[in-house]
Amino acid sequence: MFIVSEMKLTDEQRDRYSRMLALRDFSENDMETVMNTTVALIGAGGLGSPSLRLLTAVGFGRIRIIDRDIVELSNIQRQTVFNTKDIGMPKAEAAAANLNLMNPEVSFDPICVSISEENSIDVLKGADIIIDGLDSFKARRAVNRASLALGIPYVFAGAVEYYANLTTFIPGETGCLQCVMGDAKDNPENTCALVGVSPMLLSLAASVQVNEVLNLALGREPALVNRLMTIDSNTLNFDFFDIGKASDCEVCSAPVKYTPSGTNELRVTQLCSQSFNIAPEKMMSLDLESLASKLETRYSVKRMKRFLVVETPSEIKITIMPAGNLVVKGVSNADEATKLFHDIIAESN
């Protein structure tokens, strides 16, 4: 983030942001700083949706929206950046289109990838602040490493049912995700599909996150530096715990040299609506136009702006995104979905 001294707000911007500018500690210079800040949001889901709406309304200059999934009906109860007509669209693309209607002053970079150890640096470099809307420790570990490697602050949150945890990691100043979470694993019995998640909890947690992002952008001390905040949205209990850097943390204190496996393993995840997300570890760069022409000889192909929707004669629906991740709907198991992935990717060579 940087201040461009010659940059001046237009009359329209002064009007749009007048209630920010009226805050007693928020100047035109601060607004210009916000407008020159790039925020990378990973996971445009339950937490990411309210965060995105706030980041856009406040007027952050550039928002990178990173998500691997497509919009499903069961998302809309809490993922308030989507409309029912967006079902089937890649989330990053649908979010960018909807948010652009709210505030066309903001530039959006939708990136349809599944974040991994192999791609996290490429996906996050150039951002000033990272904001977490993820739901898995595996993905968060990749983000944590990239945050440290790139020196980018990382505003962490996790939320399920009525409970959320939040903190802000600043490389060199605080501990990191590994210091706090150790080798914690995702609990398959505690997912939002099984125990649910309150949309009101998500809005509360997202508001805290965006407040942290704003403080970071303005060079002010965020409230959750070296503190873990917990929210119970049923009782409205907000608790705070001091946390710090673990002297033996193998990621930030005594780093063990980490090299990604280098294999290009496929990650197959079953989504809520019996569809499968298949993503290669390494980002691909598919030529969607030429792929569409080849697939058209066998399937029905719908060309969208930055993705393809393919339907097979047996009514299997496949959404293809340029980085090589696919969402396959209508198959009965992961093997069937993986086979289709290989068939389609073979056509792109």
Q: Based on CB atoms, which residue is closest to Zn ion, 124 or 251?
A: 251
The least distance separating Zn ion from the CB of residue 164, rounded to whole angstroms, comes to 21
* 64-72, 199-207, 227-235, 244-252 -> range binding Zn ion (CB under 5 A): 244-252
Piece in contact with Zn ion (CB under 5 A), picked from 23-31, 176-184, 197-205, 273-281: 176-184
Nearest distance, CB of residue 253 and Zn ion, angstroms: 6
Q: Report which of 315, 312, 345 is spatially closest to residue 330, judged by C-alpha positions.
A: 315
Name the residue nearer to Zn ion (CB basis): 174 or 275: 174
Q: Which is nearer to Zn ion, 59 or 171 (CB)?
A: 171
Minimum distance of Zn ion from residue 241's CB (angstroms): 16
Q: Cβ–Cβ contacts within 10 Å for residue 250, how many?
A: 13
Determine the Cα–Cα distance for residues 168 and 166; give it in Å rounded to an integer. Answer: 7
- Is 62 or 245 the residue whose CB approaches Zn ion more closely? 245
- The token pair at 27 is 């100047």
CA–CA distance, 310 with 319 (Å, rounded to integer): 6
What residues does 277 pair with on adjacent strands? 269, 327
Q: How far is the CB of 174 from Zn ion (least distance, A)?
A: 9
Binding piece for Zn ion, criterion CB under 5 A, among 74-82, 231-239, 250-258, 289-297: 250-258
How many residues sit in the footprint of Zn ion (CB under 5 A)?
A: 7
Distance CA(326)–CA(69), nearest Å, equals: 9
Q: How far is the CB of 44 from Zn ion (least distance, A)?
A: 27
Q: In angstroms, rounded to a whole number, what is the distance separating the alpha carbons of residues 37 and 157?
A: 21
Contact at 8 Å (CB) between 245 and 177? no
Strand order in the sheet with 38-42: 107-111, 62-66, 38-42, 129-132, 154-160, 163-169, 227-232, 237-242
Here's the x/- map for Zn ion, 177-196, by CB under 5 A: it reads as: -xx-----------------
As measured in angstroms, the least distance from the Cβ of 250 to Zn ion is: 8
Instruction: Mark the segment that binds Zn ion (CB under 5 A) among 76-84, 97-105, 173-181, 290-298.
Output: 173-181
Chain-centroid distance of CA 184 in Å reads 21
Residue 167 sits in the site that holds Zn ion (CB under 5 A): no
**Tokens standing for 278?**
């298949």
Dihedral (CA of 214, 219, 223, 227) sign: positive
Query: Considering only 70-78, 198-206, 251-259, 262-270, which stretch makes contact with Zn ion by CB under 5 A?
Result: 251-259
Distance of CA 245 to the CA centre of its chain: 25
Site for Zn ion (CB under 5 A): which residue of 54, 94, 176, 309? 176
State the DSSP code for 174. Answer: S
Asked whether 44 and 91 are in contact (CB, 8 A), the reply is yes
Q: Which of 349, 292, 294 is nearest to 320 (CA)?
A: 292
Interface pick for Zn ion out of 249, 278, 326, 344 (rule CB under 5 A): 249
Report, in Å, the least distance between residue 119 CB and Zn ion.
Answer: 22
Q: Shortest gap between Cβ of 83 and Zn ion (angstroms)?
A: 40
In the bound state with Zn ion, the residue whose beta carbon lies nearer, of 126 and 255, is 255
Which residue number, 31 or 252, has a Cβ lying nearer to Zn ion? Answer: 252
Closer Cβ to Zn ion, 16 or 227, answer by number: 227
For Zn ion, which residue of 92, 123, 252, 328 counts as binding (CB under 5 A)? 252
Q: Which phi and psi (to 5°) does residue 207 adopt?
A: -60, -40
CA dihedral 279, 285, 288, 294 (to 10 degrees): -80
Q: Which positions lie near Zn ion, rule CB under 5 A?
A: 175-176, 178-179, 249, 251-252
